[in-house]
Amino acid sequence: MEHERCYIYTPPEQETTLEEADSATQGKIVNFVTANAPSEDEPRISIPTGLIVAGPSIASHGPYFERLGRRIRDDTGSSYVVLTSGESPNLKTFLKNLIKKITSRTEEDDDDDDDGIGRVTSSSRRGPKLLDFDLGHVLEWSSRNRVQSIVVAIQDSDAFDTGLLVEMVDLFYSWLDRLPFVLLLGIATSAESFEDRLSGKSLRYLDGQQFDVTQSDEIIEKLFRATVAHPGTEPQIGPAICRRIHERQKDHVQNVQDFVHGLKYAYMSHFYANPATIFLKPEPTFTDFSPEAFEAVRNLPYIEEKLEVGETQDVRKLLDSDKLLFEVIKELLVTVKGSLSSLSIAAIVLTRIRESLGNTPRVRLSTVWARAASGDLLESPLLRETMLSIKKAPSDRLMRVIDSLIDFTKQDANIDSEDIDLPVELERLHDELKTLIEENASSGPLRSQDDVRNESVRTTVVAQKVLLSKHKAALSEQDKAYSEVVAKLYQQLDSYFRFALVDPRTFFLYEILVYDLKSPHTEVFQPKPRLAIERALTTPHDYLGCQCCGAMQDSENTLASTQPETAILYQLYLESGALINASDLWSAFNAIVGKEDEEDQSQTMALFQRALAELKFLGHVKPSRKKADHVAKMMWKGL
């Protein structure tokens, strides 16, 4: 069956979210570079230095400085180069790489051999030949290429040797009257810790300004909202794969671009591995689908569920008629899409409520959405705690909640206002609450009857026993009116959450609209090569599928001459100790594989040596220094 692959949903906000997250800080850095351009009227007395606090996510520093470099080149007439600690073990190598990158016209020139310094060289006709680490090369290059500034970005300044940093600052300062250097220092810790590494003399040479970069976890949350939690996303990412991607991001990668790649691979895996996703085609018609597509839908649990409830007549019609099945699919897809959209919006609403209340622990949207998509958010302590906080919230916090929800329904940039159907009388509640606040004579906020400050504890002694009881304090008329507003908002939100927070796994065509398979996503982004190698060597039949090896699986003797030689030797290897006698290993191998005549034995020896070499290549054995005729065992299975 041909499967058109053009329906993969790629949210347009994905790329713009990355750009918007960086744009504010990058704009300030570009303005900093422009403002510190050299001027004849005001000679420089210190090196303009930007302290870019990029956070502990080292993997995201490289892509950030790459995007920053493109913007500096586009918006200013400056030269921009990036250097890392790996390229700068000492001052001489640092200067060689710096000169080469500055004097190269294109980025591709950076990949040339390291002996040259770029396209510009100093001629001996004009004086003595310059060494390849002399900044005179840059001076000659700048005289031929008018640039506003020479921006030198140190991507990982925390990893630089302190002595090298001091020497670099001193050298740049000595050339400041001839070369318009601007330093950009990437810092993973803090600006204070970086300043503590430099001497007072070096600090006086720097005119620093701090720039805080949006952290990768905040960017990922914005990406998550623009992609996974977006109501218009097709298909949705399921809760299991969503948690898997976030755990991998937190524990291993911490790179925003890799997070994007994981989402794209999830979409691709869903469409290419699930033939029934062809029904997500925009404006489908019956003639667009082959009979095999309808057979794929009939194999979904939906048909079995209708049989379990006794709807045998409907099941017979769906099995016999492709047209009827198409009409059912077309109608229910619209309904299920609306339910999934309402689920995403409800997760966003709950997150905004918690952020507006302020007194509750922060829970990210990705966590709330994953629990909602799992179907366990409705009865969760998280929702009960939020709703209880609404009942106890004073008037100032409740006003923030209502204002936040009104802004969400009208001004959310990522979601069309038509897609947000929030059955809560926000405008009316806002007006009532505003009137009560304006009429409030006291300086404090209004409080509801559920607020703990309106409760008092009374102590009573009965039969030498102390009894504690809670009593409601007398409420003013304004507090009673405020309690009614709180009760209305609570009831409407409670009804809304009970309607929207349903278990999506019960929906028809859930398998088409939601991708939640750990495989092949896990195998690609979290592979286990050692486990795969051990399995291949222990049970080669799992990969070869041959009958000769498969027949040995159920028997006690799992060694046979029909198995691959490396697998045979590996199973003998597992039965050995830390030091393996090569002669004994050969004797056991020959007893299984070899034959009696000499010619076959020489061939068997060749197979043994090749298998032993492969085990050495895989890192299982190595020559032993203690005994020349032994090999040392390097790995134990399962460890």
- How many independent structural domains does the chain possess? 3
Residue 283 falls in which region: left (phi positive, over 0), alpha (psi -120 to 50) or beta: left
Residues 281/288, Cβ–Cβ less than 8 Å: yes
Task: State the DSSP H helix or E strand holding residue 326, giving kind and residue range, or none if neither.
Answer: helix 322-357
Residue 515 included in any domain: no
Question: Which of these, 35, 37, 68, 30, lies nearest to 146 by C-alpha position?
Answer: 37
Going by DSSP bridges, is the β-strand pair 206-212/47-53 parallel, antiparallel, or unpaired?
parallel
Say whether both 480 and 612 belong to one domain. no
Question: Which of these, 552, 628, 10, 472, lies nearest to 271 by C-alpha position?
Answer: 10
Residue 88 included in any domain: yes
The count of other CB atoms within 10 Å of the CB of residue 578 is 10
180-186-187-188 Cα dihedral, nearest 10 degrees: 180
Number of C-alpha atoms within 13 angstroms, CB side, residue 432?
A: 19
Say whether both 269 and 131 belong to one domain. no
Q: Which two tokens stand for residue 2?
A: 């041909």
Is the per-residue pLDDT at 359 higher than 80?
Answer: no
Say whether both 193 and 228 belong to one domain. no
Task: List all residues 6 or more positions away from 407 whose beta carbon is below 8 Å from its beta carbon.
Answer: none
Residue 81 included in any domain: yes
Residue 516 included in any domain: no
Question: Which of these, 59, 393, 94, 426, lies nearest to 219 by C-alpha position?
Answer: 59
CATH for 622:
1.10.10
> What whole-number distance in Å separates Cα of residue 348 and Cα of residue 363?
11
> What whole-number distance in Å separates Cα of residue 409 and Cα of residue 430?
14
Per residue in 471-495, pLDDT (tens digit) is: 555 677 888 889 899 999 999 999 9
Task: List all residues 6 or more positions away from 412 whose beta carbon is below 8 Å from its beta carbon.
Answer: 420
With cut-offs at 50, 70 and 90, classify the pLDDT of residue 250: confident
> What whole-number distance in Å separates Cα of residue 319 and Cα of residue 312?
10
Per residue in 303-352, pLDDT (tens digit) is: 888 888 888 898 899 899 999 999 999 988 888 888 898 999 999 999 99
The angle at the Cα of 539, spanning 538 to 540, to the nearest 5 degrees, equals: 110
CATH for 117:
3.40.50.300
Residues 577/538, Cβ–Cβ less than 8 Å: no
Residue 639 included in any domain: no
Say whether both 199 and 224 belong to one domain. no
Say whether both 474 and 603 belong to one domain. no
Say whether both 449 and 494 belong to one domain. yes
Per residue in 561-616, pLDDT (tens digit) is: 788 899 999 999 988 888 999 898 998 998 888 776 656 678 888 999 999 999 99
Give 106-110's long-range contacts (Cβ < 8 A, gap of 24+). Answer: none
Say what the pLDDT of residue 118 is. Answer: 43
Task: List all residues 6 or more positions away from 90 whose beta carbon is below 8 Å from its beta carbon.
Answer: 164
Per residue in 308-319, pLDDT (tens digit) is: 888 889 889 989
Q: Which residues pair with 86 in a beta bridge?
A: none
Among residues 214, 242, 257, the one where a domain terminates is 214
Can you give the residue range of the structural domain that contains 108? Answer: 13-214
Q: What is the pTM of this model?
A: 0.70
> What whole-number distance in Å separates Cα of residue 395 and Cα of residue 485?
10
Q: Which residues pair with 469 in a beta bridge?
A: 458
Indicate the residue type of 362: R
> What whole-number distance in Å separates Cα of residue 214 and Cα of residue 536?
45
Say what the pLDDT of residue 411 is. Answer: 65
Task: List all residues 6 or more positions away from 203 whose beta carbon is below 8 Å from its beta carbon.
Answer: 195
Say what the pLDDT of residue 511 is. Answer: 85
What's the distance, Cα to Cα, between the start and end of the chain in Å?
A: 45
Mean pLDDT of 349-375: 88
Residue 3 included in any domain: no
Which sign does the torsion angle of CA 575, 577, 579, 584 carry?
Answer: negative
Among residues 214, 246, 275, the one where a domain terminates is 214
Q: Which two tokens stand for residue 30?
A: 């570009």
Burial (0-12, 13-18, 19+ Cβ within 10 Å), 79: buried
String of DSSP letters for 483-497: HHHHHHHHHHHHHHH
Say whether both 321 and 408 belong to one domain. yes
Say whether both 225 and 149 belong to one domain. no
Task: List all residues 6 or more positions away from 170 whose beta carbon is below 8 Å from its beta carbon.
Answer: 202, 205
Residues 420/352, Cβ–Cβ less than 8 Å: no
Residue 232 included in any domain: yes
Say whether both 59 and 17 belong to one domain. yes
Is the per-residue pLDDT at 61 higher than 90?
Answer: no
> What whole-number distance in Å separates Cα of residue 401 and Cα of residue 426?
10
Say whether both 275 and 395 belong to one domain. yes
Say what the pLDDT of residue 272 is. Answer: 82
Say whether both 254 and 316 belong to one domain. yes
CA of residue 71 relative to chain centroid, distance: 24
> What whole-number distance in Å separates Cα of residue 96 and Cα of residue 58?
25
Least trusted range by pLDDT, from 204-213, 389-398, 407-416: 407-416
The count of other CB atoms within 10 Å of the CB of residue 614 is 16
> What whole-number distance in Å separates Cα of residue 344 and Cα of residue 11?
15
Residue 27 included in any domain: yes
Among residues 457, 475, 510, the one where a domain terminates is 510
Say whether both 560 and 601 belong to one domain. yes
Burial (0-12, 13-18, 19+ Cβ within 10 Å), 536: middle
Report the chain's mean pLDDT, rounded to a whole number: 82
